[in-house]
């Protein structure tokens, strides 16, 4: 018999570590990193595999920790805004997925619906946080900046998430690593 709480803590720590390291792959070219969203992937996978509580915690901690350790993303306003966004991803992806698994919806459909919902809500949360954070600096955060940052510039990352995350979650579940 395995200790599920210990397993969840170990897996959440693994996803947290991946979130700290993965941006180094794209970090040499910041524009690529902004498009591929490397910190988003481990938060979403953590939430879907380990649960929303762990996904929320990893989403809250990862951007700030990465900023303090590696000075990227910049702490204010980027890492602070991302903290709200990734926390929303961590919460909504896992929470919706857990609820949908209790219905008759198949796992793949539940996964896609959860991902899409979390991505939409997370981007709205990022936009609201950015509006406040940039406003506190006396800078404008326009609808154009929101659309560009949340959707247009992020489209490669959104596509990568919709392709990679279901495959990774399915592989982990097949290996009996699931909530």
The pTM assigned to this predicted structure is 0.93
| Number of C-beta neighbours around residue 37 at 10 A | 25
* Three-state helix/strand/coil letters over 19-81: HHHCHHHHCCCHHHHHHHCCCHHHHHHHHHHHCHHHHHHHHHHHHHHHHHHHCCCCHHHHHHH
Q: What's the topology of domain 4-174?
A: Arp2/3 complex 21 kDa subunit ARPC3 (1.10.1760)
Tens-level pLDDT at each residue, the chain (179 residues): 468 899 999 999 999 999 999 998 887 776 777 788 899 999 999 999 999 999 999 999 999 999 999 998 999 999 999 999 999 999 999 999 999 999 989 999 999 999 999 999 999 999 999 999 999 999 999 999 899 888 888 899 999 999 999 999 999 888 887 65
CA 151, CA 79: separation in Å to the nearest integer? 18
pLDDT, one tens digit per residue, over 162-174 is 999 999 999 988 8
pLDDT by residue (tens digit) across 28-55?
776 777 788 899 999 999 999 999 999 9
What does the domain layout of the chain look like in residue ranges? 4-174
């Amino acid at each position: 018999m395995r200790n599920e709480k210990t397993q969840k803590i170990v897996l959440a720590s693994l996803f947290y570590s991946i979130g700290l390291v993965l941006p180094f792959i794209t970090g040499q070219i910041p524009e690529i990193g902004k498009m591929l969203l490397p910190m988003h992937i481990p938060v979403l996978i953590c939430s879907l595999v380990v649960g929303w509580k762990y996904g929320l915690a990893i989403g809250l901690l990862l951007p700030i920790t990465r900023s303090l350790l590696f000075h990227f993303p910049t702490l204010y306003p980027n890492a602070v805004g991302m903290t709200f966004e990734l926390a929303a991803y961590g919460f909504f992806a896992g929470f919706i997925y857990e609820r949908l698994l209790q219905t008759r919806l198949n796992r793949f459909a539940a996964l896609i619906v959860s991902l899409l919902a979390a991505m939409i809500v997370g981007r709205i949360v990022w936009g609201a946080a950015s509006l406040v954070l940039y406003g506190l600096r006396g800078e404008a955060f326009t609808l154009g900046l929101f659309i560009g940052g949340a959707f247009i510039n992020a489209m490669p990352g959104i596509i990568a998430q919709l392709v990679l995350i279901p495959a990774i979650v399915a592989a982990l579940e097949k290996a009996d690593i699931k909530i």
